[in-house]
């Protein structure tokens, strides 16, 4: 069975948007730090068309794709996506409702959609359930795909890619995740794209189903992105000092998603 390697990892977060800016701060910060829009170079068109979590993922993925995947190979590159399960939907949805109904949001179950197809399309664009479609449109990646949602989703997306790579079904894959929400609900603002290969890369990764220890990522709560946050952290550590890291994760609902993840030295 071939090994699986990380070729590239890009991310957008409120602590930096390039791997030169360490994610270690995520493990040290007791509270979310800044709520500024985190990606000044974010594609203007994407920002206009997409919700914030979707824009974060698209921005991270665009950079990853441009660095790592030749134009001719993008059409068939597999894409496995993790998206949040609801509040990200609810916020634009409520804003949408309020835009038409003022404070009396409950009367709006009909009006919000009765006002015209343009508004419906706006809502569809803002939603994150269509993340694979958005990413495909903005990056040209159009291969095999799946979109997991909810707690543990980025682990599930990573595991799917990993198994397909280990069994030689595919030779490379993008795993992407993103979430963002107002700090009043919970502090998470992150978009990441991971490009994996079963040929070579900057670090080897293993995924199994045994929980061993907990990764010290604190100060931010992630629903669907936690695995990629952990992996980003491990990746930076592994590049500095080659060693093995294992991770366990309890999801946002107190439910163990039960896995470990090992990032080891570069090949």
Looking at 18-26, 63-71, 159-167, 191-199, which segment touches other proteins (CB under 8 A)?
159-167
Pairing of strands 79-83, 260-263: unpaired
Among 124, 199, 243, 265, binds other proteins (CB under 8 A): 124
Among 30, 36, 116, 241, binds other proteins (CB under 8 A): 116
Min separation Cβ 50 and other proteins, Å: 10
Per-residue binding string, other proteins, 53-92, x by CB under 8 A, is ----------------------xx--x---x-xxx-xx--
Q: Is 163 in the site for other proteins (CB under 8 A)?
A: yes
Min separation Cβ 212 and other proteins, Å: 18
Among 183, 213, 216, 267, binds other proteins (CB under 8 A): 183
Q: What is the DSSP letter of 251?
A: -
Question: 146 — phi, psi (to 5°)?
Answer: -160, 155
Looking at 19-27, 64-72, 122-130, 235-243, which segment touches other proteins (CB under 8 A)?
122-130
Burial class (CB in 10 A: 0-12, 13-18, 19+), 32: middle
Question: 11 — phi, psi (to 5°)?
Answer: -150, 160
Among 16, 27, 143, 219, binds other proteins (CB under 8 A): 143
Which residues does 248 contact at the CB level (< 8 Å), separation at least 6? 211, 212, 213, 214, 215, 256, 258, 259, 260
Min separation Cβ 189 and other proteins, Å: 15
* CA 87 vs CA 83, 90, 150, 196: distances in Å: 11, 5, 10, 29
Nearest to other proteins of 70, 254 (CB atom): 254
CA distance 181 to 65: 25
Total of chain residues touching other proteins, rule CB under 8 A: 71
Does residue 100 contact residue 111 with C-beta atoms inside 8 Å? yes
């Amino acid at each position: 069975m071939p090994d699986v390697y990380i070729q590239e990892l890009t991310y957008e977060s409120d602590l930096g948007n390039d791997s030169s800016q360490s994610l270690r701060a995520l493990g040290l910060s007791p509270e979310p730090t800044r709520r500024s829009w985190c990606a000044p170079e974010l594609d203007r068109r994407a920002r206009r068309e997409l919700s914030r979590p979707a824009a974060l993922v698209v921005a991270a993925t665009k950079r990853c794709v441009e660095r790592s995947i030749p134009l001719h190979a993008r059409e068939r590159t597999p894409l496995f996506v993790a998206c949040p399960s609801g509040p990200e939907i609810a916020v634009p949805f409520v804003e949408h409702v309020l835009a038409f109904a003022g404070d009396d949001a409950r009367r709006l179950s009909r009006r919000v959609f009765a006002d015209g197809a343009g508004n419906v399309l706006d809502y569809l664009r803002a939603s994150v359930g269509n993340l694979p479609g958005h990413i495909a449109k903005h990056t040209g990646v159009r291969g095999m795909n799946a979109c997991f949602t909810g707690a543990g989703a980025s682990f599930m997306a990573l595991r799917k890619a990993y198994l397909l790579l280990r069994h030689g079904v595919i030779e490379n894959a993008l795993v992407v995740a993103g979430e963002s929400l107002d700090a009043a609900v919970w502090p998470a603002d992150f978009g990441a794209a991971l490009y994996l290969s079963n040929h070579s890369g900057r670090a080897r990764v293993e995924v199994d189903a045994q929980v061993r220890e907990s990764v010290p990522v604190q100060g931010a709560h992630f629903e669907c992105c936690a695995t990629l946050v952990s992996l980003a952290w491990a990746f930076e550590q592994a590049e500095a000092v080659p060693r093995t890291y294992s991770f366990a994760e309890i999801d946002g609902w107190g439910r163990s998603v039960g896995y470990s993840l090992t990032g080891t030295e570069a090949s």
